Every structure is written in structure tokens, then in C-alpha cells.
A and B are shown apart, each in its own frame.
Chain A
Amino acid sequence: MNFTLISNIFEPHVRGGYELGCQAIARKLATLGHQVTVLTSQAPGVLHKSAGTNGLNVRRIFEPVFEYEDGLSGTFARNPFWQRRVDNAFGGVLPANVIALDEHFSEHPPEVIWLFNPLGLGPVGILETIARQPARCLIHLMDHIDGSIASHQHFHFYLGRWRRIKSRLTAISCSEKMRAANEQLGPYRHHHVIYNGFSPQEIPDSSRSHAPDGAFRFVYFGQFSREKGLPQVVKAFAALLRSQPTTDCRLDLFGKGGAAFESELHEQIQRENVAGRVRWHGFTPKDELLRRLHEYDAAIMLLNPSEPFGYAPLEAACAGLAVITTADTGIGEIFPKTYPLLVANRDDTSSVKKKMEWCVTHRGELRSVADQLWKHLAARCDFDQLTMPAYLKAIEACPVNQPIPGTTGLLAANATVEFASHFH
């Protein structure tokens, strides 16, 4: 089939699991013999974050998404033009993106349109343009899209329109948590929950069989942000070192975040007096990271309870690591109920420290704990065996939309309300 996948950002502009999930699905579709085009935004300047090549047919037809950049957001936070731009990009319409997408569809009509993260592209305009196409139209939800749209309505009110358009799309959510969050502004036509998948083949066999020795090494990998729980990780690690002064424990951090947060985290590491035991690796390409996971005993990821899914704990488990992680995340929904390393409250430093101590004192059992965890998760999240077939089944069941010609309605309404807003 002829697939068009749409993601707000794509390599070399990378933030996290959403666009990487889109990339994995695009690759898999291509290997299954489907025709795949990925539509995304331009990535000039600071947005060009990695040198990766993905071998996919990627067309960068949308405006750059600068609004995620901490530095720019901080600089322009009180600027009304920036605020209006952010509102339109995250909760409204960007006419240029609507026109570009409509032109693309008229030249390359797809059979399946699979929308990933629409934030930053003017989600209302993007969704409406998709819903007008005579195709199977789906949205893949790995973030709080409804919540983001609701919080970006300072200049115009799009929630009625958004609710209407949703009813013309089929949705796939990566967790029950996401399904509930994304029905807040109205239901989709159909809404499936299919947990994100991970392919065990991505972990080299040699890594999985290796058992580390020497210093006990914890690892965190993923976005560097407050939401991902890094301050809590560092705090609990410091508590562990205080309670186990004779044990040689290390914490390695892989990833990248905004400059302001990274600066705060550096300060915290100094303040907690653990700088000598923490190694800061920065951004590391995913394949290299996965190759190196065998060097560690356990992963620690204290993700925010609102975390839509959490790829990192899944990848760590597949790599044979025991994972200390929070219970209320999307992936937490499918952890075994008896799993010993689930954290109920990441701000309870004593409790997190105890889980870390348990790892240190039960080092010999960690491999078994990790194997059982992966066995449990693989029965729900094996990308090739379960996840991708479930996606394809959902696509097969998705009806083809009745076409609605032209973007004039959307663009005319947008122009009218933009003009009107200048009179207030």
C-alpha cells in the first residue's frame, strides 16, 4: 500500500520517542514492501541535531518547529508575536502547512495517512486537511495532544472544530493512559490501544550475554528533562552513596536536554557531591547506546506519571537490564504486578534508594529479574511479532474517508478569525 506518515519533526531534528517511533514504523513498512513517504518539517540551524541518515523517502514540506527550543522560548516568552505563533503551532492552524500538505496530497494521493505528532505544525489545520482526504486516516497518539491543544487557546478557540475533526479519524494510542488523555476533547471514530514495540534484534546478542563486574553501574538514557525524573535519580543516587560508602557505585547518563535544565542538573550533581561517580555522556546515537548497555547492571528511569509510554525502560529490559522505574507511566500498565523494582512515588527518595540498594545487594539475581521482565514485556511489545501486525490490522479496519474538496473553507475561516482578533 501507499503510506504517507506525518511527523512534526524527524531526523536530524530529534527529541524523543515519538518521532523515533514513527521512524521505526516507517522503516518496517518499507521492509514489508509498502511505499512509504514521511512528511515532516524543515530542520535549519539549531534544529539540525543529529547527523543520522535514515534511508527513507522524507519530504520536508512543513515550516521549521522552533517552538520546542528552550533558549528561544525563554528569550521570547513574553513576546506577543511569539505567543501567538506558539498558540497557532500547538493549538491551531498554520496556513502554510495546510497549503503544503494539501498540495502534496493532490500530487501524491496516499491510500493510508498515518499522522504521528502534529504539535508544532498547527494541529487543527493538519488534522482537518488529512480528514478531508479519500484515504484511511489514522493518528498515532504518544503524547497528550488534547491537553496541549487545550492549553494553546489564548487567541482563538478551536476546541469545537478539533472535536469535530477527531470524529473522522481512527486513533491508535500507545497506552490506556494515552487513550483516556486524548479523549478529553471528544472521541475519535475508533480508538485502539496498541503498546509501543521494540525489536529484540536491535540489541546485539553479545551484549545480552555479557555480565558486568567491578563497580556497580546504573544507567539512565533518554531526554534530559525534569519530566524524565533526572533530579530524583541524582538525589537517590547520592542517598545510596551515603548509605553504602564502601560500595563502588557509578551512574552514567546518556542523552541531551535544554541548556537551562542541563545547567541545573550539573549544579545538582556538584551540590550532592557525586560528580566523581557520575559520568555525563551527552547525546549518543541509538545503535551505539544499545551496543553499550551490556556494560551496566541496572537502569534507573523515574519517569513522570504522565509519561505516555516510556521506550527507554522497554529497551533497557530487552538489553537484559533490571529497570528501576515509576509505576504510573504508560509502560507501567504492562509491567508485572509483582515486579520488585517499581517505584510508586519518585519523590520518595528513601524508597528509590532502597530499590537501588536492593539491586546492589542482589547483583547476582538481577539477570534473572531482567529476563523475567523482558519475557513478560515481549509478550506484549515485540515489535515484529505483535505490534506491527496489530497496527496493520487497525489500518485494515480503518474506513476510507469521504473526500471533501479544497482547503478554502479552513483557510477562509482562519483568515477571518485572525483579522477579527486584531479588533480586540
Chain B
Amino acid sequence: MNRERIALISLFPLGNMGGGEFLTLNTLKAVAATGAQCRLYAAQREIPPLQPLNARLTTEFLQVFDSESRQRPASLAFKDVLAACADFDVVWVHQYLSNDLVFDLINTVASDQTLLLTNEGHEPLLGLFNQIYQWSPNHWCVEISNFSRDRAAGYTRQTIGPGAGAWNNQLRNGEQLTRPFRHRACCIGRILPHKGVEISIEGLPNNFELNVVGNPDLDADYSKLLRQTAGGKHIQFLGPLAEAAKTRVLEESDVLIASSCVSLYNGKKIEQAELLGLVLIEAVAAGVLPVASDTSPFPEVMANLGLGEYVYPQRDSGALNRILQRYEALDDQSRTELRRRSQALLRQHYLFDDYWHRVRAAIGMRGPE
């Protein structure tokens, strides 16, 4: 059997673990798990959106992983990454809207290869890409949600939106699904205005406590506002936690609140706040019930998880309050049933285990022969 050969290239560094980095590394695992020959390259540091050719070609990358070698990660220039692309049948670029190195990759992938492009939210190149990109039959935008897919439809006819956010063996079961309600909620993510944390605080019923996990130093004004809003409520700001501690906070919660919004507290408006809502999937995997604002693509994810009725209009803290009280009002058995059902739907829509198979099927690509 011929093994598939897949190169995964992140145009954004993987040093700080956020949603995008998590998706990239798990995409690698998903591909490698199928037995494919795969290699991961990542930018060593953030790259300016536009650079002249020589600067692009000498940009430092890291060969993070190679399924055929146990060598330690090695540094190399982007031109060597481009040359190495010739060895792969599929070249999969993550964070393709980060910078113009994507155009060199487009130029490198020949007609007998497949180019996959995935946006994970860092998109300074969006405007230019939208203007000049010419779609091609061997290119696919593999976006992480239908919302993201529909955005890409503005510049390509070939776009799909299969999401993924958890591995089957990570889904919690047993007591985690049957435990009683303890009025514990959490917010997890970067502390930035588009996350709408102030709405989560405002909408919190008085008999709930809220743990806020995330770096508060990214926007000082916003952090100050949150502390003011939290006055008199049971709110704890836990700061940025390591992965294990973050998971512990999540698993000890009954409810995860995701209040992202495109209308910000200061009156500003942004075009998009989220491309998937990975945290909603992580919550369900952990046996925690999510509440989400109706900011796209949250309603899509919540509907896919069978939780469409637990979505509230963004910035409407009253509506959030009512949903949290509805969760509280459910009896233990109903909550357990809801957790089980949403996990079953997660298995159907958002597993990494079959992610590569779902992508391949969606683009009509044949498997290895």
C-alpha cells in the first residue's frame, strides 16, 4: 500500500498554545494516526504580513515533527521548506492568512499535488488574499467551521468546514457525567474585549460562582473593567493556567460560559470574534455544559452538539442569566442525559480521530491504494 505523504506547515509560530496551535498539533496527530507519512513545519516567530521575496525565503522555520525520523526539531529556511514540499502529495497550510508566504506555497504546489488551506484566526492578509487569490481545482480551503467556510467562499469555490476539537479517548464519562450541580461556572480564554467576559460576569446568578481562566495582561483597561464589574459577585480571576490546571478548573465546573461578541464594551465593532469555539467542544468532552452567545460560529457548534437552546443573544446578560437558571433547574438525571447526548453528537461531528477521513471524503480525495 502506498502511504500518503502529507506536509503540514504553520505560518504562525506554535510557541504559545492557543486554539489555533492546538488545532494544528492535533491535525498532525490526526493525520499521523492514519499511518500517513507526515511532517510538520512551523514559523519560528511571528512573520510580517508582507515581505520581499528574499526576506520570505530566508524566514526561519522549524521542522517540528517527521514521522520518518526521530531527530530533534531542526531549524531551516523557508526556501528549504518550499523545496521539501515536492516530496509530499498533500501540502496543508495552517494560518494561511497570516502572511504572504502563503503565495510562495501556492506557487510551489504542482498540479499533481493537493493544497489545503486552514484559517485559525490570525488573518492580517485576509483583505489582500480576498482580492488576488485565484482558486484552483487542486486547492481546498479546509476551514474549521461552516461559518469560517462561508467566509472563505468569498474567494474560493472549493471550501469545506469540518470541525474537530477532541479525541474520543479524552471524553470523560462515569461520575463526571452524573455528578450533582454545584453552581460552578467558568470562562476560559484570552482576556480580551471580544471574549465578552463582562457579560458572563453580569449574567451570573447570585448563587453561582465563576472562575475566569486566562491572561489578564493583554488589555489593561479591559481587565480593570472586569474587576469593577465583578464587585460583589463570586468571581475568581485565576490568570493563565497550565494545561492540566486549566482542565481541572473546567472539570470542576458545571457550566462553561462563552460570551464572545462582535460589538465590544467600548462601542467598537469587529468583523469576527471566533472561527470555531473550541472551548465549547472541550467543555462537552469534559462533561461540562456550555452556554454560548449567538456570535458565529457558536450557534452552529451548539446546534451540532444538541445544545441549540442554550444560546443567548450576544451582550444580553439577562438572557444569559435565564439560561444559567434553566441549567440549574434541570434535575440531575436530565443534566446527565444532556451531557451524554451532547458527547454522542461530539463524537459524530468533532472528533480528531476521524478528522482526516472526513476532510478527505469532503474534498473527494481517494485514500491510499
Contact = CB atoms under 8 A, between A and B. Distances in A.
Interface of A: 128, 131-132, 154-161, 163-165, 167-168, 186, 404, 406, 408-410, 412-417, 419-421, 423-424
19 contacts: A128-B111, A157-B53, A160-B85, A160-B86, A406-B111, A409-B111, A412-B134, A412-B139, A414-B107, A416-B103, A416-B107, A416-B134, A417-B103, A417-B107, A419-B132, A420-B100, A420-B103, A420-B128, A423-B100
B135 interface: yes
B85 A424 contact: no
A127 to B, nearest CB: 9
Interface centre among B82, B110, B134 (most CB of A within 10 A): B110
A167 B86 contact: yes
B89 to A, nearest CB: 10
A161 B109 contact: yes
Contacts of B107: 156-158, 161, 413-414, 416-417
A404 B137 CA distance: 11
Interface centre among A132, A155, A408, A413 (most CB of B within 10 A): A413
B52 interface: yes
Interface centre among A159, A186, A414 (most CB of B within 10 A): A159
B57 A161 contact: no
A20 to B, nearest CB: 32
Contact of A155 (B50, B53, B113, B134): B53
Contacts of A132: 111-112
A156 to B, nearest CB: 6
Given A156-B53, A168-B112, A408 B136 contact: yes
Interface in B64-123: 79, 82-86, 100, 103-104, 106-113
B206 interface: no
A167 B86 CA distance: 9
Contact of A417 (B86, B106, B135, B138): B106
Contacts of B103: 416-417, 420
Interface of B: 50-53, 56-57, 79, 82-86, 100, 103-104, 106-113, 128, 131-139
Given A157-B104, A160-B85, A416-B134, A410 B111 contact: yes
A301 B208 CA distance: 94
A411 B366 CA distance: 24
Interface centre among A159, A167, A419, A420 (most CB of B within 10 A): A420
A185 to B, nearest CB: 8
A419 B79 CA distance: 20
B110 A164 contact: yes
Contacts of A413: 106-107, 109, 134, 136
Q: Describe A's contact surface by its main secondary structure.
A: helix
Contacts of A164: 85-86, 108-110, 112-113
Contacts of B138: 409
Given A157-B107, A410-B111, A424 B133 contact: no
Contacts of B82: 157, 159-160
Contact of A157 (B79, B128, B132, B134): B79
B163 to A, nearest CB: 27
A169 to B, nearest CB: 12
B106 A424 contact: no
B278 to A, nearest CB: 30
A404 to B, nearest CB: 5
Given A128-B110, A157-B53, A410-B111, 14 more contacts: A128-B111, A157-B104, A163-B83, A164-B110, A164-B113, A186-B86, A404-B112, A406-B111, A412-B134, A416-B133, A417-B104, A420-B103, A423-B100, A424-B100
Nearest to A165: B110
Nearest to B56: A157
A165 B104 CA distance: 16
B125 to A, nearest CB: 10
A424 B86 contact: no
Nearest to A163: B86
